[in-house]
Structure 1
Amino acid sequence: MAIAMFSYDSAKPFLAVIFLQFGYAGMFTITKHALDEGMSQHVLVVYRHVVATIIIAPFALIFDRKIRPKMTLSIFLKIMLLGLLEPTIDQNLYYTGMKYTTATFTSAMCNVLPAFAFLMAWALRIEQVNLRKIHSQAKIIGTIVTVGGAMLMTLVKGAQLDLPWTKGYDALASTGSLTKQDPIKGALMITTGCVCWACFIILQAITLKSYPVELSLTAGICFMGAIEGSVVAAVMERGNPSAWSVGMDYKLLAAVYSGVICSGIGYYVQGLIMKRKGPVFVTAFSPLSMVIVAVLGSFFLKEILYMGRVLGAVVIVTGLYLVLWGKSKDQPPSNSSHDKAAEIATKTSTETQEMTVTTGSQEFVAVDITKIRLPDESA
């Protein structure tokens, strides 16, 4: 029973990060459909984080009210910067890049995120790297291979793959987008967004050390993202009030789904995983969402797959799992209950040994007389 509990406890970070990737995969597909129908990407960012704030704030107020640290100027500025990096800059660039490409292409390009996160974590000494060790060399080589795969996907198109469910559709019809396709421009926007996303993940890991309340931090990020995103949307959509209108359609579904699953729950679960496994682990499973999106995109959006992009995706996956293998050989400190129990047992054993005094063949045990309770005489 103990072994089973330990295995489940060790598997929880893996299950949580896989859940995140399935959530992101759904967001790629739903959002792409909403953008193709003409929804403003800037307005989507605002609505996404308004929804996330409404959903997550009550939980933060209830569950964190007794454990929430005092809000300092330093923490407030970090939350402002977090709201600017990912909810505002990254997502505006990311959604705009998606308009110029496809859902599959966008999800694959986002696989450069672990490479950027690894390099930043290495530079800030958050990630362990020893150039003499094979697993550290694997993480570095994997990072280089990942970037190379992203470049291959962007620059090499290759032959069109005629899948049974996409026959009869050409590339233009498969996108259904009102925006002219431009993979180079889209790739540059998505890559820049991934840099901001990596900065966000590293800063979130740092902020959690001084403000270790995941729900409250998530609510703060979503709230600041909604405010800062509103400023960007107001500037970009000035003179176009119709951009803010949504109905009971994919536009509303995209805002609610991405707000609840990818921002509200996503930031919270991401914070929990980071406290235990670090920021690089959180980003290492991105290829899973790419595979799911490729299947969903070809089925529901009739997106055409090309050989060059498939090969680039394979290279990206290879590089990322080199990074993941190297990461698995690290031994970060664990916070599991079993480790804590072992630590307490060891400490207790040590203290007991220190209290034991041996003189010749006689052994005496030192007793703290201040902790002896005498019977109550009045009884």
Structure 2
Amino acid sequence: MSVVGEERSVVEKWSPVMAIVGANVAMGSVNALVKKALDGGVNHMVIGAYRNVISAFVLAPLAYFLERKTRPELTFRLMFDHFISGLLGASLMQFFFLLGLSYTSATVSCALISMLPAITFALALIFRTENVKNLKTKAGVLKVIGTLICISGALFLTFYKGPQITNSHSHQKALHHNNDQDKTKNWLLGCLFLTIGTTFLSLWMLFQGTLNIKYPCKYSSTCLMSIFAAFQCALLSLYKGRDVHDWVIHDRFVILVITYAGVVGQAMSTVALTWGIKKVGAVFASTFSPVTLIAATLFDSIILHTPLYLGSVLGSVVAVMGLYVFLWGKKNEKEASTTLSAQVDNEDQTINNNHNDSRSPV
């Protein structure tokens, strides 16, 4: 193989991983910024609607110019599939996730996202996209243990907040006593909402794996999803209030956050994640979710000076440990599959050779 060929092979191998990592870093920073905006009292679904509108505007010209010759005919079934995609991966996911984020912190929200591989794996078993028989193997046992450790970490993080371990004077002044006490009381409820939001994200990843086959145009698909999600988020915003003034935003920081969330957190991240799922599968793509936790924690604590609690750190560490036990099992599964495939090929070759020898003249 030539040097150029080897370089191309390395790029093809690692580009989906880099895309998924980049998407998770972006989502971590977005969660930290959106949390800051939510603390100002903005309707969380107004943010969701605006970010999807911005995403659609950004992606529409890209979809038109880059995919107009390769785009399949848009049937009613495909429109309905994108409606479901928007419902699972944007509107319902954001409804519960942003609601939970408003009650907790960006670090906690991303720590619960670390449960994504475990939830995705469990749902994959339910929907039979993962083989139940594989659970009896070493790889299957490791994946189950990793899943249970992930869940244990999330439960620890949920039920134990612990003492504050960082100084964050600016944040405390901004929120002061009443707001902070209200959020502390709703900590458990917030973690529940975050878990529900993460489950919807897992369902979206599994659904997206099927939709990618039917409609393999990442820009057009994400644009359609964003359009449907914008209308869905607008309807869900009625849950919190029906005041038209909720849609008029004057704060420059909130406008900047919504713009960043729409362009980077919704448009580019969803395109990158969709492409990554198409290349490596939903379960494997979900295993990079701890990158979101790391990015959110750094952004949240260092840049936004949000207080960090001992329970969040310990729960996050346990969840990430569970994730890598899960990855260990995934690696063993892949190695076993490769070995089995090689054995089958050798047996086929031996049978063919014996068959040819028997047919040759003495």
Same fold per superposition (TM over 0.5): yes
Residues 1:209 and 2:213 aligned together: yes
Change in 2 beyond 3 A, CA 1:67/1:97? same
Of residues 24, 45, 48, the one that matches 1:45 is: 48
Q: Tell me which residue corresponds to 1:157.
A: 161
Structure 2 Cα separation of the partners of residues 221 and 168 of structure 1 = 38
Of residues 184, 191, 211, the one that matches 2:188 is: 184
Q: Do 1:99 and 1:177's aligned partners in 2 also have CA atoms closer than 8 Å?
A: no
1:178 offset after TM fit, Å?
Answer: 7.6
Of residues 102, 105, 109, the one that matches 2:105 is: 102
State the one-letter code of the partner of 2:211: T
Residues 1:71 and 2:63 aligned together: no
Deviations 1:200-237 (A, max 9, x none): 11111111111121111111100000111112224532
Question: How high is the TM-score relative to the length of structure 1?
Answer: 0.81
Q: Do 2:107 and 2:312's aligned partners in 1 also have CA atoms closer than 8 Å?
A: no
1:175 offset after TM fit, Å?
Answer: 9.4
Task: State, as a whole percentage, how many aligned pairs show the same letter.
Answer: 27
Structure 1 Cα separation of the partners of residues 233 and 248 of structure 2 = 16
1:176 offset after TM fit, Å?
Answer: 9.4
Structure 2 Cα separation of the partners of residues 179 and 172 of structure 1 = 13
Q: Do 1:101 and 1:186's aligned partners in 2 also have CA atoms closer than 8 Å?
A: yes
State the one-letter code of the partner of 1:216: S
Q: Tell me which residue corresponds to 2:89.
A: 86
SS across alignment from 1:131: helix
Residues 1:143 and 2:147 aligned together: yes
Of residues 230, 240, 244, the one that matches 1:236 is: 240
Which gives a bigger RCO, structure 1 or 2 (Cα 8 Å, sep 6+)?
2
Query: Greater share of helix residues, 1 or 2?
Result: 2
1:102 offset after TM fit, Å?
Answer: 1.2
Deviations 1:2-53 (A, max 9, x none): 3333223211122111111210121012111111122210100110100000
Of residues 190, 194, 197, the one that matches 2:198 is: 194
Q: Do 2:22 and 2:269's aligned partners in 1 also have CA atoms closer than 8 Å?
A: no
Structure 1 Cα separation of the partners of residues 82 and 194 of structure 2 = 23
Q: How many pairs were matched up?
A: 333
Unaligned 5+ residue runs, structure 2? Answer: 336-359
Structure 1 Cα separation of the partners of residues 18 and 140 of structure 2 = 25
Q: Return the index of the structure with the highest Cα Rg.
A: 1
Structure 1 Cα separation of the partners of residues 193 and 69 of structure 2 = 42
Structure 1 Cα separation of the partners of residues 214 and 334 of structure 2 = 23
Structure 1 Cα separation of the partners of residues 55 and 311 of structure 2 = 37
Q: Tell me which residue corresponds to 1:336.
A: none
Q: Tell me which residue corresponds to 1:350.
A: none
Pairwise CA RMSD: 2.6
State the one-letter code of the partner of 1:195: T
Structure 2 Cα separation of the partners of residues 42 and 103 of structure 1 = 17
Of residues 217, 223, 238, the one that matches 1:219 is: 223
Residues 1:29 and 2:32 aligned together: yes
How do residues 1-379 of structure 1 correspond to structure 2 at under 5 angstroms?
1=3, 2-128=5-131, 130-161=134-165, 163=166, 165-166=167-168, 173=175, 177=179, 180-181=182-183, 182-234=186-238, 236-238=240-242, 240-247=243-250, 249-331=252-334
1:142 offset after TM fit, Å?
Answer: 0.8
Q: Do 1:175 and 1:303's aligned partners in 2 also have CA atoms closer than 8 Å?
A: no
Structure 1 Cα separation of the partners of residues 81 and 275 of structure 2 = 18
Q: Do 1:85 and 1:196's aligned partners in 2 also have CA atoms closer than 8 Å?
A: yes
Unaligned 5+ residue runs, structure 1? Answer: 333-358, 361-379
Change in 2 beyond 3 A, CA 1:179/1:48? farther
